[in-house]
Amino acid sequence: MIFDSHAHYDDDSFDEDREKVIEEIHNNGVIAVLNCGASFQGAKDSVKLAEKYDFFYAAVGIHPENAYELTEETLKEIREMTKNPKVKAIGEIGLDYYWEENPPKDVQKEVFRKQMALAKDLGLPVVIHDREAHGDTLEIMKEFPEVKGVVHCFSGSVEFARECLKLGYYIGFTGVITFKNAKKIIEVAKEVPMDRILVETDAPYMAPTPHRGKRNQSDYIKFIIEKIAEIKEVSPGFMENLTINNAKNLLKIKS
């Protein structure tokens, strides 16, 4: 039983077989997926997927690499999207300083703050993207203490994880934790309390070992769950139930 707390089935890599893959993951025990918008079009497509598939939910927002897409008009339309009961979070939002071609840092930060303010206003959790921007990400998170959420695909230190946890955030673990060189994220997993662990694919990216390098899909989360269960010295079944409950608690899903 799997709740994939972060995926992108709107990605064009699924264009040829999207319905087949979604049926397959459902048959393989995936009971819920949060599909996260990264662009304005991606946000709209995430809502469409959530409307089409009972076990899909949507997060709507603008990823930092697409920061220029956030205008007063698109922000208004994102707010409108949140009226749909299947929309459960604002995301994927945040900062990405890794790629030089991304919008300037000040533009990213302004767009991040606007979407954090929207989440505060709506009482919705956020899905935060943080790449090579831990200090600035934490600073903005602290500006909005009322907002909770998940730091997706966590890549920071144990110290950074502690700061995020103090603010009430969950930590999202991807297939990276199954890689041979994953010492840092394994140390983070040891530190994170059981009730703050989420598992995610970031599909189609970051497939876990033994599927590393292939297109990712939600049922591959079983390898992430097995690894975290091993680190935490619990059974995979316990970890499955725990991560499902954690995702439901964050996203306020009652069923």
Q: 7 with 203: CB under 8 angstroms?
A: yes
The DSSP output letter for 142 is: H
Binding positions for a divalent metal cation: 6, 8, 92, 129, 152, 202
Helix, strand, coil percentages in the chain from 3-state DSSP, rounded to 5: 50, 20, 35
Binding positions: 6, 8, 92, 129, 152, 202
Q: 213 with 18: CB under 8 angstroms?
A: no
Q: What would the two tokens of residue 6 be?
A: 């972060």
170 φψ region: left (φ > 0), alpha (ψ -120 to 50), beta (else): beta
